[in-house]
A and B are shown apart, each in its own frame.
Chain A
């Protein structure tokens, strides 16, 4: 006997909600009856993160987002980053799993000398998701720090942190064939420290183009169990006394590790 004729809709919704977003979409293709189950709000509400309402309420489009059906809202959050915390941070969902991805914008980071206009300027770039990016004019002491509380991340997830940046082709100096130090700290314990060049030609394996006009380099990774690992901190440093110019910072992204890569 056909399962959709035996079990009531509420049980079918529970079953589909225990699969995954991918499986729910494939189930929609099975028959009309299973499609109406697979598309229903009860299912997609389970795929959205449990605190989605409070995250959305921090954004300017919150009322229109909350009026969407839950499946539409899920895919919207996967495709369009939401800005919050005064437009300095962005939030998005990873499509396959519904896990949260965050980008700390340049304004959410601590940039040493960042407020001195002769060292760093703040500009708007079309390609940036944020209102402002930080562009390095000239500095000897390059130090950029960021942090995020692990409790806002999705539980039971392997997260990887990336520095998202560009080197201004004309003005960048001090990055070619030179290393910067990237540090990844979980709950005040240094989890990873390493030296890497930000120039893709030096380092094509680690410095990759993201496809949105920016480059990224991995800072480190950690497994977030239930969000009680305290604060996760990141830092970029190069303080060895030579001038650096032309680094443009979009921010630091934290997203689930993608095994398919």
Chain B
């Protein structure tokens, strides 16, 4: 017992079987526990992980085991880069990796994948976080204001350009954003900068009409009007009302 070529069999949720070296498989605390407390020859079921994801995870574990054991000549910087490339996947795969690392209890992989998601949140405004992760805003206006007041200082930190991205210009769309009165607002619609204004220039105006002629003459002219509403010390809410005019 204890030979370095001991293999463990793993069966995934989609009935794929993987045979891996014990040293690699026991990177997962869950698998380690099951192996040490069960029958060593039987197949371990990893119910909640699919074949594709387990395959990726085993690549990760193998790379890290080999590098730690000196079997692979890889510097810490190179391993760091390898990890960075490992997490360059689409969101769904990333979430599947997080779920699997959590369930299999592979701490370093869980930290790596969660840090990747954390980096997608850092520095973003709430609207941007919603867009990135497809989260619906389920606050009423009053509740939203109450939470904003509670966390006001986090918004005082925002300076520079506040960016609002409008994905589609439907006829008569209304969008809003809340921003610090010290920032500038840059509204980007369909990859064109439609309006860039300093908030201080917007002050004292109830609404502003701006016509912009897009580059391509066949697309419609865009009229925006901006209304602003004071929502508390140093913050205003801007309503952008887009209308397409032919």
Task: Say whether A95 faces chain B, with CB atoms less than 8 Å apart.
Answer: yes
- Cα(A23)–Cα(B124), bound, Å: 7
Task: Say whether B98 faces chain A, with CB atoms less than 8 Å apart.
Answer: yes
Size bracket, chain B contacts: 35 or more
- Chain B nearest Cβ from A2, distance in angstroms: 5
Residue of B nearest to A10 (CB): B102
- Cross-chain contact of A26 among B102, B126, B144 (Cβ < 8 A): B126
A29/B147 in contact, CB under 8 A:
yes
A29/B144 in contact, CB under 8 A:
yes
B157/A22 in contact, CB under 8 A:
yes
On chain A, the residues within 8 Å of B135 by CB distance are: 2-4, 30-31, 33-34
User: Which of B73-81, B114-122, B221-229 forms contacts with chain A?
Assistant: B114-122
On chain A, the residues within 8 Å of B115 by CB distance are: 18
Main SS of chain A's interface residues? helix
On chain A, the residues within 8 Å of B99 by CB distance are: 6-8, 11
On chain B, the residues within 8 Å of A3 by CB distance are: 91, 95, 117, 133-135
Task: Say whether B64 faces chain A, with CB atoms less than 8 Å apart.
Answer: no
A29/B151 in contact, CB under 8 A:
yes
- Cα(A88)–Cα(B166), bound, Å: 56
Chain A stretch 2-27: residues in CB contact (< 8 A) with chain B: 2-4, 6-8, 10-11, 14-16, 18-23, 25-27
A19/B147 in contact, CB under 8 A:
no
On chain A, the residues within 8 Å of B121 by CB distance are: 15-16, 19, 23, 27
Task: Say whether A32 faces chain B, with CB atoms less than 8 Å apart.
Answer: yes
On chain B, the residues within 8 Å of A27 by CB distance are: 121, 126, 129
- Cross-chain contact of B122 among A8, A19, A30, A33 (Cβ < 8 A): A19
On chain B, the residues within 8 Å of A23 by CB distance are: 118, 121-124, 154
Q: A3-B95, A31-B139, A32-B139 are in contact. Are A11 and B102 (CB under 8 A)?
A: yes
- Cα(A1)–Cα(B115), bound, Å: 20
B148/A29 in contact, CB under 8 A:
yes
Task: Say whether A206 faces chain B, with CB atoms less than 8 Å apart.
Answer: no
Task: Say whether B142 faces chain A, with CB atoms less than 8 Å apart.
Answer: no
Task: Say whether A35 faces chain B, with CB atoms less than 8 Å apart.
Answer: yes
- Chain B nearest Cβ from A231, distance in angstroms: 32
On chain A, the residues within 8 Å of B150 by CB distance are: 28
- Cα(A175)–Cα(B114), bound, Å: 56
B151/A26 in contact, CB under 8 A:
yes
Q: A20-B122, A26-B151, A27-B121 are in contact. Are A15 and B134 (CB under 8 A)?
A: no
- Chain B nearest Cβ from A76, distance in angstroms: 14
Q: A11-B98, A15-B117, A22-B157 are in contact. Are A31 and B137 (CB under 8 A)?
A: yes
Closest 5 CB pairs of A and B: A25-B154, A18-B118, A25-B151, A29-B126, A3-B133
Binding site for B on A (CB under 8 A): 1-4, 6-8, 10-11, 14-16, 18-23, 25-35, 95-96
